[in-house]
Structure 1
């Protein structure tokens, strides 16, 4: 069902690609411990999917009892602060896997910088004085320059156009957090909050019709968003911004960038953000 674990370097000879079933990681690191760190990543990756599969039924349910596997526990910890909002640990799966692999890398070897990119949800390591640049991947050219002292170690993006299902209509929500797991969970829920319930330009269908084993079950997920007027765009973004502000005030995220049809809102303090193009894409 899941095939064999694949590990290879990409054409640039530097970035490591790890693939197993639905998990697809791109990894890089700099520092004297690079080789041993990458070896540790490959070794740890061998068992990640089987560990998750063993608790999958629980992971697809709203937050409940304690879980056993280290990645599963990361997932539960990341989503628990958002209860009573509906959320399952699956909202943090990509970020939690990235955190787990990065953790073994940093423990294995001395690194100046490192990242584990799990389909756009990224765990980051920066030693003192180092920095990394995070591109905002929604068709705009914004980016955030992250420095070691910022306390940001996770970046995640969610939205109805992404690889995961969304209850909202955000084209993208990018979140900066202390961990990738926290960023992943928050991006999912903030993207859900960017919404216009009942709007005729939005088409939805039950999640299980798209993915029979979806943790969202019969909940309606967005499959199409037609052109919206300025008032509707503002209303949807303001709803998402209000929720993101609450999350930031609780210290769960550092910042969030919300995008809908070429319009952007920023919640919290996004360090090093360089907004280069935020006008309407269809202008």
Structure 2
């Protein structure tokens, strides 16, 4: 197995950790000596994380069932804990892997340290630490026609969400649904990751002739989705069809909010968007679209 790598990004502030499929961007704000110590702690924990997961990979790719957790590793157990509340819906611990990794590294990063705030970003799934008086501003798609111009969601120390995850078409993982994106806010990143996966799966139009699907194994022989049909393309949809698909996902997200599993979800399909629950943060106007101001040859 290749060895994990560690480097600082050009800004000199954020750390990059990479090992196989895991790619993390870590930011810690505070006194320089505290930040340096936090980086060392995160890197030390990261060194053993992927081998631990690989040891239990067969079980991690197996559908979760009610009962005692059969997994041993701390990240694997985080994954299982995030998935099991959704039983009997089909879900494997892998639905929460990105978020669980972010949670684990964040815990190592902040342990015993005096930081103002910290974030571990695992391919867009984020675990946040916020000290009293501090906040994080995160981007959330509010205009489906211009997803690169997100609104800002301000999350403070007093607010509940500490995990943010996004799932849907075009992401790193396969989806059973047709959502362009589903972003979920929850108490931790693993919980948000599992929920975003299932809500994105639920945004769907089963049997629609314009949706192309193939068995997951054809795209990834070791997929935890086995022969379940995953979406590879979506043809033009009418407004009514988009609304119908979003209705299905909204019902699933609303149930998770009622159960206290998540705080809020943002569902995007085509030209439409739904907000379910209370974001527990202040949504501000979309951020300035820097891409429109770049020279043509940039």
Q: Same fold (TM over 0.5)?
A: yes
For 1:141 and 1:51, locate their aligned partners in 2 and report how far apart those are by CA, in whole Å.
36
Contact 1:203 1:225 in 2 (8 A): yes
Asked if 1:255 is matched to 2:264, the reply is yes
Structure 2 CA distance for partners of 1:275 and 1:229, relative to 1, 3 Å: farther
Residue aligning to 2:157: 148
Residue aligning to 1:4: 3
Size of the alignment, in residue pairs?
Answer: 276
Structure 2 CA distance for partners of 1:70 and 1:61, relative to 1, 3 Å: same
Contact 1:204 1:224 in 2 (8 A): yes
TM normalised by structure 1 equals 0.95
Aligned-partner SS, 1:149: coil
Asked if 1:191 is matched to 2:200, the reply is yes
Deviation at 1:140, TM superposition (A): 4.2
Structure 2 CA distance for partners of 1:21 and 1:176, relative to 1, 3 Å: same
Aligned-partner SS, 1:27: strand
For 1:190 and 1:214, locate their aligned partners in 2 and report how far apart those are by CA, in whole Å.
19
For 2:285 and 2:161, locate their aligned partners in 1 and report how far apart those are by CA, in whole Å.
18
For 2:151 and 2:202, locate their aligned partners in 1 and report how far apart those are by CA, in whole Å.
22
Asked if 1:264 is matched to 2:268, the reply is no
Deviation at 1:3, TM superposition (A): 1.1
Asked if 1:216 is matched to 2:225, the reply is yes
Aligned-partner SS, 1:150: coil
Residue aligning to 2:13: 14
For 2:165 and 2:278, locate their aligned partners in 1 and report how far apart those are by CA, in whole Å.
16
For 2:265 and 2:85, locate their aligned partners in 1 and report how far apart those are by CA, in whole Å.
17
Q: Aligned runs of 1:93-108 on 2, under 5 Å?
A: 93-108=97-112
In structure 1, the gaps of 5 or more residues are 278-283
For 2:152 and 2:218, locate their aligned partners in 1 and report how far apart those are by CA, in whole Å.
35
Greater than 2 Å deviation, 4+ residue runs: 136-140, 273-277
Residue aligning to 2:63: 62
Deviation at 1:19, TM superposition (A): 0.2
Aligned-partner SS, 2:6: strand
Structure 2 CA distance for partners of 1:218 and 1:244, relative to 1, 3 Å: same
For 1:257 and 1:275, locate their aligned partners in 2 and report how far apart those are by CA, in whole Å.
16
String of CA shifts for 1:99-153, please: whole Å, max 9, x gaps: 0000011113111100000000000000112110111264342231111111110
For 1:187 and 1:229, locate their aligned partners in 2 and report how far apart those are by CA, in whole Å.
24
Q: CA RMSD in A?
A: 1.3
Deviation at 1:160, TM superposition (A): 1.6
Asked if 1:167 is matched to 2:176, the reply is yes
Residue aligning to 2:84: 80
Q: Aligned runs of 1:28-67 on 2, under 5 Å?
A: 28-32=27-31, 33-64=34-65, 65-67=69-71
In structure 2, the gaps of 5 or more residues are 142-146, 288-298
Residue aligning to 2:138: 134
TM normalised by structure 2 equals 0.90
Deviation at 1:217, TM superposition (A): 0.3
Aligned-partner SS, 2:247: helix
Aligned-partner SS, 1:85: coil
1:123 paired residue among 123, 127, 138: 127
For 2:7 and 2:165, locate their aligned partners in 1 and report how far apart those are by CA, in whole Å.
24
For 1:143 and 1:240, locate their aligned partners in 2 and report how far apart those are by CA, in whole Å.
23
For 1:236 and 1:140, locate their aligned partners in 2 and report how far apart those are by CA, in whole Å.
24
